[in-house]
Amino acid sequence: MFFAMIEILKGAGVLIYPLAVCSAAAVFIVCERAYALRRAAVMPADLVDAVVSGKPLVGGRHTVLARIVEFAEQHRHDEGAVKAFARLELNRMERGIPYLDVIYAAAPLIGLTGTVTGLLQVFSQISPDTGLPDPVAFTKGVALALSATVIGLSIAIPSLVGSGYLQRKIENYAAQLDVLLERILQRPRIP
């Protein structure tokens, strides 16, 4: 099994390097954003409860919701600025996710490029005397050429799933923040 994986990686040729970069970037972005978008870092329950009930704010001082509340208290008379700041915080939550879109589009194309170049090499080895390739070398060459596409798809599919999951999570936070923002704007100013 291990040697089969090594052969697949060798089959991708020099394009294994950009595929490896895509893979490492996708893993990093998904893990970092999943950690950054956990509920305790965006809108902890105690802070949400305080905003909803109109109680003094406690806990979660370094969270997205806390930054919005603090900005709202400093700019009480500028509702447009508060809403713009909330949109800016949502934009910060999306940081890195557009790169996943690039990765899940580019990885299969890089893999396809490897497949095409591998097939060109296989077909260029057809014997001029017989017009036929060596069947064993031909079959092995085609299998190795297709490995680049398999690697590209293996990178693209998790990137697509990760991007969709993270986008949906941000959309849910955005809907919740819209509701909380109305409540924040109605809070009396704390001296």
- Comparing CA positions, the residue from 165, 47, 156 lying closest to residue 103 is 156
pLDDT at position 123? 80
How far is the C-alpha of 73 from the C-alpha of 57, rounded, in Å?
12
pLDDT at position 33? 96
pLDDT at position 86? 94
pLDDT at position 135? 77
Q: In this structure, what are the phi and psi dihedrals at residue 94, rounded to the nearest 5 degrees?
A: -85, 0
pTM above 0.85, yes or no: no
DSSP for the chain, please give it. -HHHHHHHHHHTGGGHHHHHHHHHHHHHHHHHHHHHTSHHHH--HHHHHHHHHTPPP-S-TTSHHHHHHHHHHHTTT-HHHHHHHHHHHHHHHTTTHHHHHHHHHHHHHHHHHHHHHHHHHHHTT--TTTS---HHHHHHHHHHHHHHHHHHHHHHHHHHHHHHHHHHHHHHHHHHHHHHHHHHHHSPPP-
CB-CB neighbours of 79 under 10 Å: 12
Number of residues written out for the chain: 191
pLDDT at position 146? 85
Residue 143: CA count within 13 A, CB half-sphere: 10
pLDDT at position 163? 96
How far is the C-alpha of 54 from the C-alpha of 117, rounded, in Å?
65
Q: In this structure, what are the phi and psi dihedrals at residue 118, rounded to the nearest 5 degrees?
A: -65, -40
Q: What token pair was written down for 144?
A: 């190795």
Question: What residue segments make up the domains of the chain, in order of their start?
Answer: 10-186
Instruction: Please give the chain's pLDDT, 191 residues, in tens.
Output: 666 667 777 776 788 899 999 999 999 999 999 999 999 999 998 888 888 887 777 666 789 999 998 898 888 889 899 999 999 999 999 999 999 999 999 999 999 988 888 888 888 777 777 777 777 777 777 877 788 889 999 999 999 999 999 999 999 999 999 999 988 888 665 54
